Amino acid sequence: MIATRVAALGLLACSTLLGGCNSASTERTDIVTVDRLVRRVSDVPANAGQPLDLFVRERAPASVVNSGKAQPGKVALFVHGGYSPATLAFDVQYRDYSWMEALAKAGYDVFAMDMTGYGRSSRPMMGEPCNLDPSQQKLLIGKPLAAECKAKYPYQLVSSDTETADIDAVVNSILKLRGVDKITLIGWSGGGIRTGTYTVRHPEKVEKLIIQASSNYGRNNPDAKPNLPRAGFPMTIQMRDVGEGKRWLGTQKCDGMVEPGMPDMIWKMNIDADPVGATWGTGGLRAPTRTYWGWNANSARKITVPTLIMVGEEDDLRTTNAQLFEDLGSSQKAFLRIACATHFAVWEAQHRVLQRASLEWLRSTTLNGQRTGTFRADETGRIDPAPLPALTASSGAPTGRTATAD
């Protein structure tokens, strides 16, 4: 249940169901963790006009939370990708893996949000297993489905418009909460298209942009908005053997990239993030199906805020991210490729490179002391100037489809 409503900000303070509010971290007494819900009126066709709650976590120095104000340039919002919600992606509270905590310890007021259909946010139409991708329903036979079934809501769930509205509701709440005019956005994978699209549409609210391995970028993606909602199904699921085995551990090429025990820890966080999906079939993470358009060369040229792009050398998205970097309209932009890192570098040894590079970009809008350029982090994390990876003729996959990247 919800304990308190702060109506002026559109924020709902969370009860002990979400681990309590304004509670100090057990590991870092100087960093405070605050969990909230931001409520907006849904424009998702499946529940249009109904209340929609978006989970938001804040990690910040106690002085910021106690004063209620943050310094300009010291506020950032993380946006997750296609399957792993905010806390799983950015706040793994083990050793030094929490990206949020690393920035908070440096004095930043750091937020992360769950988009519609993820984690602790509203999940319209996603409690019904018949609404799952028909090609995946066979994975659920016996647990919980007796047989394959027809979707009760035969459409894709969210879109570029509704996801931009999600981010805007959270950004507006943070700006008002902390008394600042702009915010830095940090997106991983599907968070890249989400934060990039938001920046194109609301540049006045974005100070800087940091992207780790954006999915769905294609120079020739269509600009035109399709008819919505698009026919299909509202939900997909990623089972553990696919997400962990094939997409993550199966792409490693260097020894020692993943600390022993880390996959099991991430799976436990998966269960915490999606206890319903964990009981379906062999267990997995549910995600909404998404209809996208744009996120192409035309939209990249409209991004003029300082932008840092990072991608692992073992990530299949390295070429399209290099193309994105080339297409950006910003005069201050940096590209960093990271050796011995996959798409899931946030959970790997090279997570420290992500933290260090993003912190330098936040502090001085530089990477390795340079305001623009292309760089490479080697196996030890040392960053030096380096050319872009070789680009192919590929323009990226069309985005007017069900998106599946993390």
Hunting for tokens 């405070």 — which residue is that?
A: 32
Instruction: Determine which of 2-11, 104-113, 262-271 has the lowest per-residue pLDDT on average.
Output: 2-11
List CB contacts of 289: < 8 A, sequence separation 6 or more: 133, 156, 157, 158, 232, 233, 234, 235, 236, 402, 403
- How far the first Cα of the chain sits from its last, in Å, is 30
What residue numbers bound the domain in which 353 lies? Answer: 2-124+159-228+294-385
pLDDT of residue 3: 27
> What pLDDT score was predicted for residue 390?
80
pLDDT at 93 (0 to 100): 92
pLDDT average, residue stretch 332-343: 98
Q: Is residue 78 part of a domain?
A: yes
Q: Provide the number of structural domains found in the chain.
A: 1
Q: Greater confidence, 401 or 355? A: 355
pLDDT of residue 22: 40
pLDDT in tens, 355-378: 999 999 999 999 999 999 999 999
Is 80 exceeded by the pLDDT of residue 403? Answer: no
What is the per-residue DSSP string for 121-184? S--TT-S-GGGB-HHHHGGGBTTTBSS----SS-B--EEHHHHHHHHHHHHHHHHHHHT-S-EE
Residues 84, 63: Cα–Cα separation, whole Å? 30
Is pLDDT above 70 for 334?
yes
Q: Which residues contact 172 (CB under 8 A, 6 or more apart)?
A: 10
- Residue pLDDT, tens place only, 1-51: 222 222 223 444 443 223 334 433 333 458 999 999 999 999 999 999 999
Q: How far apart are CA 80 and CA 215, in angstroms?
A: 11
Domain membership flag for residue 151: no
Residue 306 within a domain: yes
Provide the pLDDT for residue 21: 40
pLDDT of 405 = 58
Work out the percent of the chain whose per-residue pLDDT is above 90.
88
Q: What is the pLDDT of residue 123?
A: 98
> What mean pLDDT is predicted for residues 62-81?
96
Residue 270 lies in a domain: no
Q: Find the helix or strand (DSSP H, E) in which 284 lies.
A: strand 284-288
- What are 87-105's pLDDT values in tens digits? 999 999 999 999 999 999 9
Alpha-carbon span 277 to 286, nearest angstrom:
6
Which of 15-29, 275-289, 328-342, 374-388 is predicted with the least confidence, judged by mean pLDDT? 15-29
High-pLDDT (> 70) share of the chain, %: 89
CATH number at residue 21: 3.40.50.1820
Whether 200 is covered by a domain: the verdict is yes
The per-residue pLDDT for 33 is: 96
Compute the mean pLDDT over every residue in the chain, rounded to the nearest whole number.
91
pLDDT tens digits, residue range 120-172? Answer: 999 999 999 999 998 999 999 999 999 999 999 999 999 999 999 999 999 99
Place 389 in a pLDDT band, splitting at 50, 70 and 90.
Answer: confident
pTM flag (> 0.85): yes
381: left (phi over 0), alpha (psi -120 to 50) or beta: left
Q: Of 59-63, 188-192, 401-405, which gets the smallest average pLDDT?
A: 401-405
Residue of 332, 56, 86, 59 whose CA lies nearest to 209: 332
In a domain, 181, yes or no: yes
Instruction: Specify the pairing of strand 109-113 against strand 51-61.
Output: antiparallel
pLDDT for 352 beyond 90: yes
Residue indicated by tokens 């992606």? 89
